[in-house]
Amino acid sequence: MNILEELKWRGAINQETDHDGLNDLVNKKPVGIYVGIDPTGDSMHIGHLIPFMILKRFQLAGHHPVIVIGGGTGSIGDPSGKKSERVLQTMDQVRHNQDALTAQMEKLFGQDGKFEIVNNYDWLSKLSLLDFLRDYGKLFNVNTMLNKEIVASRLEVGISFTEFTYQILQSIDFLHLYRHNDVQVQLGGADQWGNITSGTDLIHRIEGQDAQVFGLTIPLLLKSDGTKFGKSEGGNVWLDPEKTSPYEFYQFWINQDDNDVIKYLKYFTFLSQNEIADLEKKVETQPEKREAQRKLAEEVTEFVHGKDAVKQAEHITAALFSGNVADLTTAEIEQGFKNMPSVEVSSEPLNIVQWLVDATKIEKSRRQAREDITNGAIRINGEKIQDVDYEINPANKFDGKFVIVRRGKKKYFLARIK
């Protein structure tokens, strides 16, 4: 099975400019293939990750990935998928984002063979306005550009000339990479089809119709309920561990629906057909065990954050499920309790009843607090406390930074020490 056959099995091919030609090419030799990303933010989220997962598959199949960080195109804005004009960023912000995205790419692609990261600012910034108009603008028909979906979808609300020219700049990228980096394929999301075909057309006009260049897009990934994949209740799921902790990242994947998990295993893991087929049977016969979800969470978290992050996420998950939070480290508490109810309290020791009612307001009244304590419904840092005279000393655990309260079987509260 070659790379295109594998992608077809995984449901990861949407459109191709020339399937037979591309199929012949990947069977003959290692091929240069690129994906671009504009530095509109300082981290990718998992929606951005999709085309780079496909690019990674090409790398593992022996092909040569080229990643284009759009320092040039990112300074003007891609109209694709946007209903209104982008707000231009400062060049300092663009450069900061470039550095952050480059570091993420090096982590994802740096372990499995040769790859390149280039910045289109390096060549686009050298173009004069007259060169742009004479050498490239003359080759683009406005009527054709207007019919591209990325432009046509914006005509009612309006599109600036700046964003209108984006497809020309992206086409120049493909031409530059074809000439200087031996790139013959551009890969992107379904919304990039118009930009990609503009690039192949430009190369054929300049280099001749015999130039072997191809475009390939990935389908828009939807959940089984028809909504767009990629967000949790808290918003985007980021690759930056400061924005989305590895534990939160792991939890996002492990909580996927049975109806979606096999699709995501095909897209986001490098498991074989047989391994995924085996997990599919377990979803059908033993869905309560959630083995497919657990494997999905392990694989994607390891790919993005590494093996240690998986172990840590599993440790936090097990501790919260069992209630054995005493073994958690301070760093693990930061991750595991990030979105749980929390309150700031003093570092001074205090009687448990007063602490639960006055300091934290976890309990509504002293009577209720005493009742819950004597009934064994209160755990402090994992320990069941049934003595109403017990004194809580925040300095005793978790480097004096936290006190963890569990009321009943599932309700957790985090007290952060001032």
Q: How far is CA 28 from the centre of its chain?
A: 33
Give CA torsion, residues 306, 310, 313, 315, to 10 deg. Answer: -130
Query: Two tokens at 19?
Result: 């399937």
For 292-319, write each residue's pLDDT tens digit.
Answer: 999 999 999 999 999 999 999 999 999 8
Q: What is the pLDDT of residue 233?
A: 62
Pair 403, 392: CB distance under 8 Å: yes
84 CB-contact burial (10 Å; exposed 0-12 / middle 13-18 / buried 19+): exposed
Q: Could you tell me which of 195, 53, 36 has the C-alpha nearest to residue 101?
A: 36
Pair 26, 8: CB distance under 8 Å: no
Q: What is the pLDDT of residue 181?
A: 96
Convert 6-38 into a string of H (helix), E (strand) and C (coil): HHHHCCCCCEECCHHHHHHHHHHCCCEEEEEEC
**Distance (Å, whole) CA 153 – CA 156:** 7
What are the angstrom distances between the C-alpha of 397 and each of 101, 325, 348, 392, 400?
Answer: 37, 11, 14, 10, 6
Q: Element (H or E) spanning 202, and its range?
A: helix 193-207
Q: Could you tell me which of 348, 364, 400, 402 has the C-alpha nearest to residue 380?
A: 402
∠ CA 38-251-414 to the nearest 5 degrees? Answer: 110
Q: Which amino acid type is present at position 375?
A: N
Q: Which residue's entry shows tokens 């930074």? A: 401
Strand order in the sheet with 411-417: 342-345, 411-417, 402-407, 378-380, 383-384
∠ CA 171-174-180 to the nearest 5 degrees? Answer: 140
Residues of the chain with pLDDT under 50: none
Q: Could you tell me which of 187, 170, 176, 155 has the C-alpha nearest to residue 54?
A: 187
Pair 296, 253: CB distance under 8 Å: yes
Pair 278, 320: CB distance under 8 Å: no
Q: What is the pLDDT of residue 260?
A: 95
Residue 171, helix vs strand vs coil = helix
3-state class percentages of the chain: helix first, strand second, coil last, to nearest 5: 50, 15, 35
